[in-house]
């Protein structure tokens, strides 16, 4: 391992999708990485690839991020090793499509634990370290659905609305402390998330679906530029403008049709 004085990038949900792409792009920049997820085999395979291709330091942490004690233990382990997290990518998340009352309560609560509670805990712990050092970067992965409540995505869209507003507030709170907080709000992307969420892919969604590479690139660039938020893709930007410019009844009905619900 190289010097422990290096700054590190911590990426949650790093075993697939956006998380894996964040790892590849930061490794290409020569950044040392802490990869966090539940699937150890995938993390180890990815870390081996990144070490071989880019020659970077990679630490693998198998953590159930729905557990707050596990998050606290992760922070303690890294602190004991003098691993300085300069960039925190809050990417881990869970989603489900379907009527709220038809979903098991435990699945909805698990979604809240991961998408809200764990993100809040991670941010609190690592942002405090960043503030003490007067430098740091935090990227919150929200969603295009964070701009409105969407039928059959009630808990998910509400959870991502929390992520977006939480990020907006911290952007202002921590700016004078040298800490940048940016929200990334992607639309439909080819990450495998839709399959795990049992989401129906409509013809409209297929046409606007983005690949992970440009989405992650947009997020990294916005974070480095100190922006409050970014919505990748022209079509997705158009939807956000439509949301701001039209009554809720109109754009929520339109969004329900786009999402096939």
Written as one string, the DSSP assignment of 87-135 is EEEE-------S-GGGS-HHHHHHHHIIIIIIHHHHHHHHHHHHHHHT-
Active site amino acids: 156
The enclosing H or E element of 84 equals: strand 84-90
**H helix or E strand, kind and range, residue 83:** none
Residues 6+ apart with CB under 8 A from 133: 84, 178
User: Phi-psi bin for 83: left (phi > 0), alpha (psi -120 to 50), beta?
Assistant: beta
The span from the CA of 202 to the CA of 221, in Å, is 30
Q: Based on the number of CB atoms within 10 Å of its own CB, is 161 exposed (0-12), middle (13-18) or buried (19 or more)?
A: middle
Lateral strand order in the sheet of 179-184: 58-62, 32-37, 7-12, 84-90, 136-141, 179-184, 229-230
How many Å apart are CA 29 and CA 42, to the nearest integer?
Answer: 22
- Size of the chain, expressed as the number of residues it contains: 261
Q: How far apart are CA 212 and CA 229, in angstroms?
A: 17
- CA angle, 16 as apex, 204 and 7 as ends, to 5°? 120
């Amino acid at each position: 391992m190289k010097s422990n004085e290096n700054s590190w990038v911590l990426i949650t949900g790093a075993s697939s999708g956006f998380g894996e792409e964040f790892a590849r792009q930061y490794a290409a920049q020569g950044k040392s990485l802490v990869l966090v997820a539940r699937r150890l085999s995938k993390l180890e395979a990815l870390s081996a690839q990144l070490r071989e291709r880019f020659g970077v330091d990679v630490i693998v942490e198998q953590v159930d991020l729905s557990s707050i004690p596990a998050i606290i233990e992760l922070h303690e382990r890294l602190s004991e090793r003098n691993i300085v997290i300069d960039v925190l990518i809050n990417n881990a998340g869970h989603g489900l499509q379907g009527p709220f009352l038809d979903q098991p309560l435990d699945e909805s609560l698990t979604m809240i634990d991961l998408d809200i509670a764990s993100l809040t805990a991670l941010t609190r712990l690592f942002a405090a370290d960043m503030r003490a050092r007067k430098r740091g970067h935090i990227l919150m992965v929200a969603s295009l659905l964070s701009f409105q409540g969407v039928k059959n995505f009630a808990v998910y869209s509400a959870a991502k609305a929390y992520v977006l507003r939480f990020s907006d507030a911290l952007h202002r709170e921590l700016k004078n402390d040298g800490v940048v907080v940016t929200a990334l709000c992607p639309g439909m992307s080819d990450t495998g998330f839709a399959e795990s969420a049992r989401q129906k892919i409509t013809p409209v969604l297929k046409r606007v679906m983005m690949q992970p590479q440009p989405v992650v690139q947009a997020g990294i660039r916005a974070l480095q530029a100190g922006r409050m938020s970014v919505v990748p893709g022209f079509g997705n930007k158009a939807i956000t403008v439509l949301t701001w410019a039209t009554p809720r009844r109109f754009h929520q009905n339109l969004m329900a049709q786009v999402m096939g619900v």
